[in-house]
Amino acid sequence: MNQFAEEIARITDIRVSSPDYGLAHAGKRERRVGLTDDGRLNIVAADHPARRVAAVGSDPLAMADRADYLARILRALSSPLVDGVMATMDILEELLIVAGQRVEQGHDDPLARKLLIASLNRGGLAGVSWEMDDPISGATAATCRQWNLDGAKLLLRICDEDPGSLRTLVASAEAIRETNALEIPMFLEPLVIERVAGRFQVVKRAEPLAKLVGVASALGDSSRRLWLKLPYCEGYEAVAKATTLPILLLGGESAGDYQPFLREVAAGLSAGPNVRGALVGRNILYPGSADPLVAAEAVGAIVHAKG
């Protein structure tokens, strides 16, 4: 990823000398007419560092190397089979700075017609006592409008034993109302959580997930611009049947080999007509020894395959 080092090194200089540079490029960026050209989406997720999640495999600081992280994101975005990126504002700003610099140098804009989706709630830091209490600590609907973004994303973790989940539920409902008012699509990630040996773990079972889908689909004043981001599990047909909303599959922790995730994507897409793609981060950006571009295109080839 060293080929990106020089342009990424310029980001700090631009932040110091021209703090509105990324915002200016955001206003000029060519956007899609709609979210999707074929009814499906393959989006890269890049919001993990903001929740104090930096480990990949045995490396506890893999995602803390920002230059390498950005290089991997840009590498994946270079594929026409990748529709965009979901990230926190700091990362979106850095990508916009790189994009603006490339355009000034006469190159194509790497973000042209790519979806830029802002991650809104990152306050439920990994491992803290308030982890399930996850307020809107990042961008807002107004931010998305100001920066000419294409959507917003929320994480909603529901743990029956933790009252922080209720506060997150209420905050999520209000954020959905706000994005609806500005006609901004919302990507909601509802997860069933259990506490095991003092740690929170995602439950990947069809019955509780299908029940939570019913809760998530009803949040806010309308579901007309709502997409769901859900984990794959056995019996996924029951999950898909629980809603008519479009579903994107999430990836979870990197397995060091993206092939198993490809099988999950294929199985998930066959579970129901409303399963419409993937919104995945670590399994694409850190696919072991493989190239992130190759991994991203492999997912995109499945997602965007003509039926």
Q: Are 126 and 51 in contact (CB under 8 A)?
A: yes
Per-residue pLDDT tens, the chain, 307 aa: give them.
456 778 888 999 999 999 999 999 999 999 999 999 999 999 999 999 999 999 998 899 999 999 999 999 999 999 999 999 999 999 999 999 999 999 999 999 999 999 999 999 999 998 898 999 999 999 999 999 999 999 999 999 999 999 999 999 999 999 999 999 999 999 999 999 998 887 889 999 999 999 999 999 999 999 999 999 999 999 999 999 999 999 999 986 766 788 889 999 999 999 999 999 999 999 999 998 889 999 999 999 999 986 4
Predicted TM-score (pTM) above 0.85: yes
Residue 93: per-residue pLDDT: 98
Q: CA-CA distance, 270 to 274, in Å (whole number)? A: 10
Q: CA-CA distance, 110 to 97, in Å (whole number)? A: 11
Residue 49: per-residue pLDDT: 94
For 272, the domain range is: 2-303
Residue 271: per-residue pLDDT: 96
Three-class secondary structure of residue 154 per DSSP: strand
Q: Are 82 and 42 in contact (CB under 8 A)?
A: yes
Q: For residue 147, give the CATH number of its domain.
A: 3.20.20.70
Residue 249: per-residue pLDDT: 97
Number of domains in the chain: 1
Supply the DSSP symbol for 256.
S
Q: How many CB atoms lie within 10 A of CB 251?
A: 23
Q: Show the tokens assigned to 147.
A: 């920066």
Q: CA-CA distance, 87 to 143, in Å (whole number)? A: 13
Q: CA-CA distance, 275 to 267, in Å (whole number)? A: 10
Three-class secondary structure of residue 236 per DSSP: helix
